[in-house]
Structure 1
Amino acid sequence: MFIAAAERRVMFRIFAAILLTGLSFVALFPFVALLLASFKSASELMRFGLNLRLDFDVLSLKNYLYLFTEQGKIYWTWYKNSLLITLLFTAVSLFFSSLVGYALAVYNFKGKNTVLFLVLFLMMIPLEILMLPLFEEMIAFRLVDTYWGVIVPFAVSPFAVFFFRQYAVSLPRELLDAARIDGCSEFGIYLRIMSPLMIPAFGAMGILQALHSWNNFLWPLVVLRTDEMFTLPIGLAGLLTPYGNNYDVLISGAVLTVVPIIILFFLFQRYFISGLTIGAVKE
């Protein structure tokens, strides 16, 4: 009986490994096809489309070399804009969202449940409803066609606030009392004691917020006006026009946009996994 049970477990693991490997290949197919297409000419793409066909006669570095010429200079301007906006947005969002989430988890004050309800309610409101009033605010504050016009309206994310709140619920309250006895201020308690304990939450939410900002298309499209201020999603989308498509920059440029996110994930994947699991604590 025990041998049969052990054999079933082994067979199940083998089947699961085969299934997950197959699903991994399916998930990787679009990126692999895009990577191969970045080494092909535009005429080759128009003839055969995206595929996994390896033909070394048509593969070349021409598309990538084009990005480093004077014609491809605007692409690196978009890249710089995306990097700066992502870094600023992630830093501001993590700081303020963690502060709000920490306060909702640790302190008891009048209207606390109302604030938490509003946070959950805002998570259900689509961007399209808020876009017009937010744009009017950006005009009033003269933030149109600026980095801060993209960053400020969504710097404090309801999802991030709720995530940090759920994580901070599990923090030991004894440390709060000990720090207060030692004379530490409330902000000092958060910054010096509680923030280091929330590193997994910062890692997980940092990846999610950076990914959201890096791929954000609709709101930057509304706020940004000039080519020199465009982010990568807007700039690359603008290469497809009724008058011609610049696949030389589009395909190779799209491949290079994945590099920062891959680096970010590999740097913080340990915190990402632990932050998502520990952050799901219930009261």
Structure 2
Amino acid sequence: MNKKQNTAISKVSVNMLFILLCLVTLFPLFCLVLASLKPSTELLRFGLNMKLDVHVMSFKNYAYLFQGGSIYFEWFKNSLLLLVISTALTLFFSSMVGYGLAVYSFKGKNVLFLLVLFIMMVPLEIMMLPLFKMTVALKIVDSYTGVILPFIVAPVAVFFFRQYALGLPKALLESARVDGCTEFGIFLRIMMPLMKPAFGAMAILQAMGSWNNFLWPLIVLRSKEMFTLPIGFASLLSPYGNNYDLLISGAVLAVIPIIIIFLFFQKYFISGLTSGGIKG
């Protein structure tokens, strides 16, 4: 075989491998969608499976979500609100910190960066008690401020933005300063547009983290009306009964926002991760 044939075979093999990995990844989601169309008794008897039984399949489980007594869409709205606010604030402040650590030279800069790396290695469970005491002292328990404020600057995002900002052209800084632009104006008007791939990649990761966040909102929030989807789903499972009809159908709909976010930012995702990983 010549070189062209070897290349074609290699491409086909790689494509087949990725198709197989994609099918393996989507298999649980496919089973979840099928389970959402069946009564909860079928789920208890056979578990998640690929059995297509049209005689028991219907959209009744989804109808339960729209009934008057259902609080599902209240939880959905709360999760969506937290996702938008926390992601936007985290991206803005974390990018500012990462940019400052990459571009400016000041006393204690390396110490601050080491602290960022140290915090990245500390599990949330260790910081939970002091963070909760802080929220109690600030009187922000049972509020969305208490959920968002302690994590408004994410160490992982700071590290990522710093690595990306190290590769930005420094000549633009000097040119902007000569033209009389302020440091904040340089960041907003010049550097932020250049960091779009980094923002796209981090937007997906931070949005997923916010959407799936369970432990910290569970500790801070008290009112059932303020619950997010993960906490709401957990409340459907109890020793006195499990509402699988609402749980499974609600879980299917809960996947939609993350899919939309990924489709919107996917063109930045790979380039952002690659550039952030090799620069610096």
TM-score higher than 0.5: yes
* 1:15-74 alpha-carbon deviations (Å, 9 max, x no partner): 2222222221111110000011111111111111110111111110101011001122x1
Alignment equivalent of 1:166, drawn from 157, 163, 166? 163
Q: Residues 235-246 of structure 1 correspond to what in structure 2 (within 5 A)?
A: 235-246=232-243
Tell me the equivalent position of 1:215: 212
Q: Which moved more, 1:112-121 or 1:17-26?
A: 17-26
Alignment equivalent of 2:266, drawn from 261, 269, 280? 269
- 1:128: Cα distance to partner? 0.5
Q: Which amino acid aligns with 1:31?
A: L
- 1:226: Cα distance to partner? 1.4
* 1:78-131 alpha-carbon deviations (Å, 9 max, x no partner): 111101111110011011000000000000001111011101111000000000
Paired residues of 2:164 and 2:279 also in contact (CA < 8 A): no
Tell me the equivalent position of 1:151: 148
Tell me the equivalent position of 1:114: 111
- 1:7: Cα distance to partner? 3.0
Alignment equivalent of 1:185, drawn from 160, 182, 186? 182
In structure 2, the gaps of 5 or more residues are: none
Q: Which amino acid aligns with 2:197?
A: P
Alignment equivalent of 1:195, drawn from 192, 195, 207? 192
Distance in 1 (CA, whole Å) between partners of 2:44 and 2:170 is 62
Q: Tell me, what secondary structure is at the counterpart of 1:28?
A: helix
Q: Which amino acid aligns with 1:104?
A: L
Q: Tell me, what secondary structure is at the counterpart of 1:255?
A: helix
Q: Which amino acid aligns with 1:36?
A: L
Distance in 2 (CA, whole Å) between partners of 1:17 and 1:188 is 45
Q: Which amino acid aligns with 1:150?
A: V
Tell me the equivalent position of 1:38: 36
Distance in 1 (CA, whole Å) between partners of 2:55 and 2:151 is 48
Paired residues of 2:98 and 2:160 also in contact (CA < 8 A): yes
Q: How many residues of Structure 1 are paired with residues of Structure 2 in the alignment?
A: 280
- 1:274: Cα distance to partner? 1.3
Distance in 1 (CA, whole Å) between partners of 2:84 and 2:51 is 37
Distance in 2 (CA, whole Å) between partners of 1:18 and 1:198 is 34
Q: Residues 54-69 of structure 1 correspond to what in structure 2 (within 5 A)?
A: 54-69=52-67
**Would you say 1:258 and 2:258 are equivalent positions?**
no
Superposition CA RMSD, Å: 1.0
- 1:4: Cα distance to partner? 3.5
Paired residues of 2:35 and 2:248 also in contact (CA < 8 A): yes
Paired residues of 1:123 and 1:158 also in contact (CA < 8 A): yes
* 1:196-235 alpha-carbon deviations (Å, 9 max, x no partner): 1111111110111010000011111111111111100010
Distance in 1 (CA, whole Å) between partners of 2:269 and 2:20 is 24
Paired residues of 1:106 and 1:168 also in contact (CA < 8 A): yes
Q: Which amino acid aligns with 1:68?
A: F
Moved over 6 A (4+): none
Distance in 1 (CA, whole Å) between partners of 2:11 and 2:184 is 49
Distance in 2 (CA, whole Å) between partners of 1:12 and 1:171 is 36
Distance in 2 (CA, whole Å) between partners of 1:153 and 1:10 is 52
Q: Tell me, what secondary structure is at the counterpart of 2:121?
A: coil
In structure 1, the gaps of 5 or more residues are: none
Q: Which amino acid aligns with 2:156?
A: F
Alignment equivalent of 2:132, drawn from 129, 132, 135? 135
Q: Residues 71-86 of structure 1 correspond to what in structure 2 (within 5 A)?
A: 71-72=69-70, 74-86=71-83
Q: Which amino acid aligns with 2:55?
A: D
Q: Tell me, what secondary structure is at the counterpart of 1:40?
A: coil
Alignment equivalent of 2:98, drawn from 97, 101, 110? 101
Q: Tell me, what secondary structure is at the counterpart of 2:277?
A: coil
Distance in 1 (CA, whole Å) between partners of 2:171 and 2:55 is 68
Instruction: Compute the TM-score of the two structures, normalised by the length of structure 1.
Output: 0.96
Paired residues of 2:200 and 2:269 also in contact (CA < 8 A): yes
Alignment equivalent of 1:225, drawn from 218, 222, 226? 222
